[in-house]
């Protein structure tokens, strides 16, 4: 299942799946916007909702190469990739186990839609493997994980989850958005279905909404069968933009991961920070598992400001770094979970999840770290 790629990672980013411009020999893949293709052979009917236009197929080949899988599909959003993949493998009467903390949109999809389909679900109490094991039922068909998780960057052991699932004939799915294909390839640990919000690191420039799923030919065929009915496909123009973004995927994410480590180490020693959550720090509770399964430790980390610092004022004082809901762009952004993603929970509920009111989630860009650190320092200085 784990497919060997003949090239190094940067060569793969740039050349895997590229379309040749036979007519003019242009350097980049030509963009085919057609929604109608004359056919010589009725067996091959190209149509964007069938995920088989030239640009769609080319991009899928690149993403499959990056995830070291046999095949891939791309969608109009990360949520289209997640919802379609889940409903391809679950039906009435089935049960799914999901990790305790998941991306908010995935959580909402489960709790707002699954009852309608008669699909049962359980969220685990923690990231411990034993907590997954104790939830397995005779009708459990899928285990769904996300690592690192948001916002505390907890890490789950992919190999251990996969072994547990396989022993019970259960399919494993991962949301690989936060780490990205550059920092971890879950198929190396036997995970079956790998999903991305390509809006984040794959796109990387905060200008594309897209999703992707990678896996074996057999699994992708199964997802395709459902996907063509749900219709969540991606416009060829966005496909072409995404192919362009992926050429610098490694360069961007490597720099973001490097910057995150520099920033996390700096902030950990800062007198105005209570705690830093970054899997690349030896102090992170899951650092050992992270070392086993990640190449670098990603561009996302969180930190707790000391109680004496007002988080709103801190954010207002920043000049370079913007407060923003999304993440993974080349520009650094941050947000306060207690005032945004976790705003609807009470302080006590948040505390039970380890989310203090002073917690800030940081998505590191590719700027110079000295400038980012200076921006944070001046924002704190102004408060004192
Ligand atoms: C953003 C995000 C999603 C959803 O992706 P969209 O492209 O916004 O639909 C899913 N999972 C994670 C971890 C995300 O950050």
Q: Please indicate, yes or no, whether residues 330 and 372 belong to a single structural domain of this protein.
A: yes
Q: Which residue has the tokens 């030919």?
A: 217
Q: Please indicate, yes or no, whether residues 308 and 378 belong to a single structural domain of this protein.
A: yes
Q: Please indicate, yes or no, whether residues 92 and 201 belong to a single structural domain of this protein.
A: yes
Q: Please indicate, yes or no, whether residues 166 and 132 belong to a single structural domain of this protein.
A: yes
Q: Which two tokens stand for residue 375?
A: 């921006």
User: What count of other Cβ atoms lies within 10 Å of the Cβ of residue 190?
Assistant: 16
Q: How confident is the model at residue 4 (pLDDT cuts 50, 70, 90)?
A: low
77 lines ligand 1 (CB under 6 A): yes
Residue 142 lies in a domain: yes
Q: Please indicate, yes or no, whether residues 196 and 75 belong to a single structural domain of this protein.
A: yes
Rg (CA), the chain: 21
Nearest CA residue ID for atom 1, ligand 1: 197
Return the CATH number at 57: 3.40.640.10
Q: Please indicate, yes or no, whether residues 302 and 193 belong to a single structural domain of this protein.
A: no
Rounded to whole angstroms, what are the CA distances from 166 to 161, 191, 249? 9, 10, 32
- Helix, strand or coil for residue 333? strand
Which bin fits 351, alpha (ψ -120 to 50), beta or left (φ > 0)? alpha
Before 111, cis peptide (omega within 30)?
no
CB-count exposure of residue 227 (10 Å: 0-12, 13-18, 19+): buried
Return the CATH number at 371: 3.90.1150.10
Q: Please indicate, yes or no, whether residues 188 and 297 belong to a single structural domain of this protein.
A: no
* pLDDT tens by residue, 311-328: 999 999 999 999 998 899
Mutate to test the pocket of ligand 1, among 76, 80, 104, 177 (most ligand atoms within 8 A of CB): 177
For ligand 1, the distance from its centroid to the CA atom of residue 27, given in whole angstroms, is: 31
Mutate to test the pocket of ligand 1, among 75, 77, 78 (most ligand atoms within 8 A of CB): 78
- Helix, strand or coil for residue 335? strand
Q: How many domains does the chain have?
A: 2
Residue 1 lies in a domain: no
Q: Please indicate, yes or no, whether residues 241 and 258 belong to a single structural domain of this protein.
A: no
**Rounded Cα gap, residues 381 and 384, in angstroms:** 5
Residue 217 lies in a domain: yes
Q: Please indicate, yes or no, whether residues 261 and 140 belong to a single structural domain of this protein.
A: no
Residue 3 lies in a domain: no
Q: Please indicate, yes or no, whether residues 178 and 237 belong to a single structural domain of this protein.
A: yes
Q: Please indicate, yes or no, whether residues 259 and 233 belong to a single structural domain of this protein.
A: no
For ligand 1, the distance from its centroid to the CA atom of residue 78, given in whole angstroms, is: 5
Domain range enclosing 172: 9-246
Please answer whether residues 297 and 290 qualify as being in contact, where contact means their C-beta atoms are separated by less than 8 angstroms: yes
Q: Please indicate, yes or no, whether residues 266 and 153 belong to a single structural domain of this protein.
A: no
* pLDDT tens by residue, 133-178: 999 999 999 999 999 999 999 999 999 999 999 999 999 999 999 9
Say what the pTM is.
Answer: 0.96
Q: Who contacts 199 (Cβ-Cβ below 8 Å, separation ≥6)?
A: 77, 78, 208, 209, 210, 211, 326, 328
* pLDDT tens by residue, 175-191: 999 999 999 999 999 99
């Amino acid at each position: 299942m784990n497919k060997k790629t003949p090239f190094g990672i940067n060569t793969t980013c740039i050349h895997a799946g590229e379309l040749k411009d036979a007519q003019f020999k242009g350097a980049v893949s030509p963009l085919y916007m057609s929604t109608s293709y004359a056919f010589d052979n009725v067996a091959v009917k190209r149509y964007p909702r069938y995920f088989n236009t030239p640009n769609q197929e080319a991009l899928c080949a690149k993403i499959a190469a990056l995830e070291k899988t046999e095949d891939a599909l791309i969608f109009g959003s990360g949520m289209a990739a997640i919802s379609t993949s889940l409903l391809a493998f679950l039906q009435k009467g089935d049960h799914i186990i999901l990790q305790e903390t998941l991306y908010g949109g995935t959580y909402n999809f489960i709790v707002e839609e699954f009852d309608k389909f008669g699909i049962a679900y359980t969220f685990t109490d923690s990231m411990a493997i034993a907590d997954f094991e104790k939830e397995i039922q005779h009708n459990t068909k899928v285990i769904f994980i996300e690592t690192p998780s948001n916002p505390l960057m907890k890490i789950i052991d992919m190999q251990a989850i996969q072994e547990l699932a396989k022993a019970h004939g259960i399919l494993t799915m991962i949301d690989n958005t936060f780490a990205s294909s550059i920092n971890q390839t879950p198929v190396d640990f036997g995970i079956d279905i790998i999903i991305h919000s390509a809006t984040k690191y794959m796109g990387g420039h905060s200008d594309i909404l897209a999703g992707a799923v990678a896996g074996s030919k057999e699994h992708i065929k199964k997802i395709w069968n459902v996907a063509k009915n749900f219709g969540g496909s991606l416009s060829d123009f966005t496909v072409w933009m995404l192919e362009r973004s992926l050429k610098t995927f490694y360069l961007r994410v490597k720099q973001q991961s490097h910057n995150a480590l520099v920033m996390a180490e700096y902030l950990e020693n800062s007198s105005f920070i209570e705690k830093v959550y970054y899997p690349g720090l030896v102090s992170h509770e899951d650092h050992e598992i992270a070392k086993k399964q990640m190449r670098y430790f990603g561009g996302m980390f969180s930190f707790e400001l000391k109680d004496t610092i007002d988080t709103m004022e801190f954010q207002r004082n920043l000049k370079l770094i913007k407060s923003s809901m999304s993440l993974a762009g080349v520009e650094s952004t941050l947000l306060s979970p207690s005032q945004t993603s976790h705003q609807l929970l009470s302080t006590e509920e948040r505390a039970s999840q380890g989310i203090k009111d002073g917690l800030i989630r940081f998505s590191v860009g590719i700027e110079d770290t000295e400038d980012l650190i200076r921006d944070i320092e001046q924002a704190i200085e102004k408060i004192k």
